[in-house]
Amino acid sequence: MKFGVIIFPGSNCDHDAYWTIQQVARQPVTFLWHDSHDLQNCDAIIVPGGFSYGDYLRTGAIAKFSPVMESVKKFADQGGLVLGICNGFQILCEAGLLPGALLRNVGLKYVCKPVHVRVENTDTPFTNACRPGEVLTIPIGHMEGNYFCDEATLAELRRDNRIVFRYATASGNVTPEANPNGSLDNIAGVCSPGRNVLGMMPHPERSAEKELGCIEGFKVFQSLVGAMATK
């Protein structure tokens, strides 16, 4: 199995994801250049956080036109595993791989802190190492993390159990106070109909080693490795 981490101009979490996969998960990983169509025979693609193309126009709006994203779309359409983290989530929404959009945070302030997210669906390649309802502590760092979609899309996400993470309290209660950015229905992450594409605003790569203060984000990578091993 082999992971690929995309590098866009302005990416700043690509090396964090690379480190977590190589040094913590102990899996083969390579960088993928934004200006290339070549996914180098990777089995899973990470679209990392940062400020791709300087977040000009709006977050992810330019990155969706990059050659690598054309290949990622084809890869995802064929069932390939794709994880978008923070800016990566924004890019996946802009590219049409996931529904909805990420708006400015309520309060119009950049938010950077550990949050609690409740695992709503463990039947995905990204959460199979978790327990239903498990609460993970994972940091966020974003200005545009306010997830929004129309009523019909929200109903579809709920019906098909595609809301994977929700912001919650440490005890697992989904409350307005636990919502750091105003996201609709406290949504912190959603997946595609085929469950092979996940977008999430929290940064699991920033909570994958004890030196970082928490290790619960590593369960996302642990799940991916397990899913790839059984394919």
Q: Active-site positions?
A: 86, 203, 205
Nearest to 93 by CA among 33, 158, 181, 153: 153
Nearest to 188 by CA among 224, 135, 151, 225: 135
What is the residue whose two structure tokens read 């996969």?
21
Please name every residue paired with 101 in a beta bridge, in sequence order, or none if there are none. Answer: 148
